[in-house]
Amino acid sequence: MMKWREHRTKMIQKLGLVTVTLVCCFGFLLNETAFGQSAPYIPVGSARTKKTVIAFPEIRTAGTRDGSFAKTISETVVNDLSFMDLFQFLSPSAFIEDSGKAGLTIGTFKLTDWTSIGAEFLVKATLRSEGSNLTLEAYLYDTHGSKQILAKRYVAAQREAKTVGHTLANNIVEALTGLPGVFQTKIAMTCDRTRKKEIYVMNFDGTDVKQITNHRSTAFAPAWSPDGTRIAYSLYTRHRNNIKNMDLYEFDFGTESFRMLSNRRGINSGAAYSPDGRTIALTMSFLGDPAIFALDPAKKEVTRMTKSFGTDVDPSWSPDGKSIAFVSSRTGKPMIFSQNSDGSRVQRLTYAGIYNATPTWSPRNNKIGFAGWLDRHFDIFIMNPDGTNIERLTKDQGNNEDPHFSPDGNFIVFSSNRTGQQNIYVMNIDGTFVKRLTYGLGNCVTPKWSNPPVVASTP
């Protein structure tokens, strides 16, 4: 068990997705009350006339005179929740509670002090410092329902204060919406800051950018493994007789190593890991016309998935792994199709426009996003998995391409040249609240969002 923990600790440190001390060394200690909630407090995806109002008074501290850790945690929570466009935080100037007398649990403070100033939910927390460690106790209340929704304790090293904030924000989102938060997720992309296309990774909000590859060639089309520990991508290389080829590689964050997955003649591109991580769907052309194959990354064996006289590219798995969406020119113009993973039940989904590309399947299994050429530009669209109810999300702002859903299904990350250069943006699934994520990285394209990190339970 200790060897496994040591190996996972090293992997997590290199990956930067989850803090080691929070999960492994001191444990991830949860004290949570289950309320059997039948419906989320905040239904995501439905029409909203206003934001949910949250009050978050200053975190109380004990055992340390340094309030920087509490400040880091509170600022992280506020920044994270503000990223969602669901929440509005009350200004501390509106607070009327006497913090010197009020406690943290129901019965030790007046809920009317918060409902009277418009707070719908209340976050209260205390932070203790013991040696080099921090212990945060946090509570979330429904002020109008007079209910405790969340009660958790987090133990971590002082250097992990920001991760404690991210984790608390994730827990708040899940408690209120029923969906996992994205505040410890990553986005991979291709950028040409070095004048060569390389793979980069950044936090969900565009911070902490890291260059992953340095091939000094063209590395593109990254794809995350479901557990977030590996990235598959394509790379232009030279084979024998100086023949240029598009090979498939994989980078392992734990070992910081690269391995070649497929160098079959021609195209090896557009990788997409299956939900269980055992298979990679990608486009290959070693048999002739580009078709989609299923690659076993362990054995490096392939099985053909699509069969047509056209070109089949850009596979995307359904959340249950039973189907794929893809682009095919089999009927003339490139359009979006779907089929079962065994090749049966092929269905054409799009008919409009002259070019539809890069489908992405929502983790909720209720939508497929894609880029479509319309009005002399590419724009982002979403539709039902059967091709009905197509909605346009972007318009009149340059070319908008490469959509990919966030792991909670609340956002779409995409590339756009609306400012001249191609950059990465994120928006709500209704096309609102658009935010630019990349700056100074050259042209950035093909963003892919990772799943939340897997949190190991501690015995």
**Can you give the CATH number for the domain in which 117 is found?**
3.40.50.10070
Instruction: State residue 20's pLDDT score.
Output: 32
Contact between 268 and 234 under an 8 Å Cβ cutoff? The reply is yes
Domain identity same for 205 and 229: yes
Instruction: State residue 39's pLDDT score.
Output: 72
Question: Which of 144, 177, 210 is at the close of a domain?
Answer: 177
Domain identity same for 416 and 288: yes
Q: Evaluate whether residue 80 is within a structural domain.
A: yes
Domain identity same for 25 and 106: yes
Q: Evaluate whether residue 14 is within a structural domain.
A: no
Q: Evaluate whether residue 2 is within a structural domain.
A: no
* C-alpha pair distances (Å), 329 with each of 311, 334, 348, 350, 371: 5, 4, 11, 12, 15
Q: Evaluate whether residue 12 is within a structural domain.
A: no
Instruction: State residue 29's pLDDT score.
Output: 35
Q: Evaluate whether residue 13 is within a structural domain.
A: no
Instruction: State residue 180's pLDDT score.
Output: 86
Domain identity same for 259 and 114: no
Instruction: State residue 7's pLDDT score.
Output: 41
Domain identity same for 44 and 191: no
CATH of the domain at 363: 2.120.10.30
Domain identity same for 325 and 248: yes
Instruction: State residue 44's pLDDT score.
Output: 72
Q: Enter the tokens of residue 4.
A: 């496994």
Q: Tell me which residue range forms the domain holding 138.
A: 19-177
Domain identity same for 416 and 293: yes
Domains: count for the chain = 2
**CA nearest neighbour of 151 among 55, 33, 254, 235:** 33
Domain identity same for 324 and 440: yes
Question: Which of 177, 205, 228 is at the close of a domain?
Answer: 177
Domain identity same for 147 and 221: no
Q: Evaluate whether residue 315 is within a structural domain.
A: yes
Question: Which of 158, 177, 196 is at the close of a domain?
Answer: 177
Q: Enter the tokens of residue 15.
A: 């990956």
Residue that the structure tokens 């929502």 belong to? 362
Domain identity same for 301 and 352: yes
Instruction: State residue 347's pLDDT score.
Output: 97
Domain identity same for 134 and 229: no
Give every residue of the chain whose pLDDT is below 70, as ranges.
Answer: 1-38, 45-49, 63-66, 454-459
Contact between 447 and 215 under an 8 Å Cβ cutoff? The reply is no
Q: Evaluate whether residue 157 is within a structural domain.
A: yes
Domain identity same for 212 and 297: yes
Q: Evaluate whether residue 77 is within a structural domain.
A: yes
Long-range contacts formed by 432-437: CB under 8 A, 24+ apart: 432/85, 433/85, 435/83, 436/206, 437/187, 437/202, 437/205, 437/206, 437/413
